Amino acid sequence: MVTEHLIHRDYCPHCKQHVEPVVPDALPHALLGHHVISLTSWLHYGLGITIDQIVDILSYHLQTKLTPGGLVNAWQRFAEILVEWYDQISEQARQSTYLHADETGWRVNGQTYWLWCFANAQVCYYMIDRSRGQPALRKFFTESFDGVLITDFWAAYASVEAADRQYCFPHLLRELEKVDQRNDSPEWRAFAKKLRRLLRDGFPLFEGVCRA
């Protein structure tokens, strides 16, 4: 169902301005309603569908004519409303008792940026930054982290002041495998076997702490 709102605008001689009624189904001065903006945001940022494809989808299925520029402008205005909520998620992540951190490459206007993720069972916060090192981490960790920071072995994470640290289990096991390839001594094999057993025995305990 496509709903079209025809808005009457008139001049007010008292306030000397053009006035129009408020449309509750859309943002002020917007040409698209809340449902279209939410749907297209999810299609693009959630599912990775291109802007041109979204324009084609809405044009064919909803008989709604959109332009790529108008769509991007609507998303930017939508993002301004969500900034306060975004900041609340960031603060909640920084106040967590434990936090996983990771980063991956991200393209912005043809240039390489980095998508940072800080998450646990209750919250997930994303941050896009040009840096993959300490400058980006300083933007997120504005003060010392009073919890357990869980990361891989990327050196930049060592710059974060945290109450405690945990390296993720897959990366620990990969490091053991790397040493296995270079060291075949009986002493190392005995140590690695014992360490793997301790890691696997401790994993259920760690899961219990995370769920709590």
Place of tokens 């940022």: 45
Task: Quickly state the pLDDT bin for 90 (edges 50, 70, 90).
Answer: very high
Over range 35-40, report the average pLDDT: 86
Place of tokens 């004519």: 65
Q: How far apart are the first and last CA of the chain?
A: 45
Structural domains in the chain plus CATH codes: 10-83 (no CATH), 95-167 (3.30.420.10), 168-212 (no CATH)
What one-character-per-residue DSSP string does 13-42 give? TTTTEEE----TTB-TT-SSBHHHHHHHHI
Mean pLDDT of the chain: 87
Task: Quickly state the pLDDT bin for 70 (edges 50, 70, 90).
Answer: confident
Position 95 pLDDT exceeds 60 = yes
Task: Check residue 31 and give its pLDDT.
Answer: 72
- Residue range 7-20, pLDDT digits in tens: 777 888 888 888 77
Task: Check residue 208 and give its pLDDT.
Answer: 53
Question: Using an 8 Å Cβ cutoff, are 162 and 147 in contact?
Answer: yes
Position 24 pLDDT exceeds 80 = no
Closest CA to 40 of 72, 1, 85, 84: 72
